A = this chain, B = another copy of it.
Amino acid sequence: MQIAVDAMGGDHAPGEIVRGAVAAAREKIAGIILVGDKRRLEPELKPLHPPASLEIVHTEQVVEMDEQPALALRRKREASIIVATRLVKEGRAAAVVSAGSTGAQMAAALLILGRSGKIQRPAIATIIPTLKGPKLLLDAGANVDCRPEHLYEFALMGNLYAARVMGIREPRVGLLNIGTEACKGNEQTLGAYNLLKGSPLNFTGNIEGRDILAGDTDVIVCDGFVGNVLLKFGEGMAQALFTMIGREIKNSFRARLGAALVLPTLRGLKKQVDYTEYGGAPLLGVQGISIICHGSSNARAIKNAIKVAARCVEQGLVTGLGQLPGVNGEGEVVKCQPH
């Protein structure tokens, strides 16, 4: 299996991306095709002594983070994210991984790979660490204006991903809402609740914001606006709490003494709640595997994202997504079991 890695995307590209890709190749997670500017990649690669299997596909164009995605893709037809996604379309790679512009990666996937089966709205599925292990939340930002049917699609896709890729048996699917009662919500969630209630999914009803991290729901469904705001709030809150803890500890001599002993433990925790450690977020609903990484991804995050991509391929995710019933379709929802 070959996986295309956009070597030019991300805050720490190409250095960290190259290091992550080499680590993945060395651990034989997959064969790697690095897509990017040869003259910048080779000096990074040389000291790492990469396995011979690692390949470079050369291109000089890059979509910058501040470019308008659709426009950039039209102007830069040889941008690394386009070339990498094209490798998937052509069957030369089984998946693409990038830490570059999310908008450009999504646009490239939609344009080059196309939508999967009956799915109208591809969605970004993000892993969130909870008290009971990693769970899935989608949409994390691909669709900011959603109708109930779209949330229903997200539930179908999330269910498939949780079952096949995360290995969760009969995933519990919950709808993010302002109350647990069926009568609570806005027009969108009230409509989605009805669709989900009638589905063969293991729908456990509405879930409130405060219950997400308890970890009793495997797949949390919401629109991309809410998902994006929420995930970023969580990120900011973890940061703010650690800042506050640091401040408080500095103010107390006794605490300063204790902190020296506790800090290594807290650092481990910080790593645990830092979602970049969980690799990338799959874009579900396109005809191919496209894994979106956090812009600030380090080598470890990239390696983990390549691992996620490989697992998606092995578990036949794209075929599974292609077989999902449409929102108004007649088909039964495929209950997926881990293989």
Contacts and interface: CB of A to CB of B under 8 A. Distances in A.
Given A248-B268, A249-B265, A209 B185 contact: no
Contacts of A248: 265-266, 268-269
Nearest to A255: B265
A211 B234 CA distance: 10
Nearest to A145: B186
B262 A236 contact: no
A185 B241 contact: no
A231 interface: yes
A244 B131 CA distance: 7
Nearest to A230: B233
Interface string A178-213: 100001011101000000000000000000111111
Copies of this chain present in the complex amount to 2
Interface in A239-270: 239-241, 243-245, 248-249, 251-252, 254-255, 257-266, 268-269
Nearest to A223: B186
Contacts of A259: 258, 261-262
A255 B268 CA distance: 12
A232 interface: yes
A48 interface: no
Given A186-B144, A209-B230, A226-B229, A236 B260 contact: no
Contacts of A252: 264-265
Chain A contact residues, majority secondary structure? helix
Given A241-B273, A261-B255, A262-B255, A144 B211 contact: no
A89 to B, nearest CB: 28
Contacts of A262: 249, 255, 258-259, 262
A71 to B, nearest CB: 12
Nearest to A245: B269
Contacts of A186: 144-145, 225
A238 interface: yes
B225 A226 contact: yes
A141 interface: yes
> Among A144, A176, A254, which residue has the most Cβ atoms of chain B within 10 A?
A144
Contacts of A213: 233, 236-237, 239-240
B225 A209 contact: no
Interface string A267-281: 011001100000000
A236 B211 contact: yes
A144 B268 CA distance: 39
Nearest to A257: B261
Interface in A111-165: 130-131, 141, 144-145
A287 interface: no
Interface of A: 68, 130-131, 141, 144-145, 176-178, 183, 185-187, 189, 208-214, 222, 224-226, 228-241, 243-245, 248-249, 251-252, 254-255, 257-266, 268-269, 272-273
Given A131-B244, A209-B233, 6 more contacts: A178-B228, A209-B232, A213-B240, A241-B269, A259-B261, A262-B262
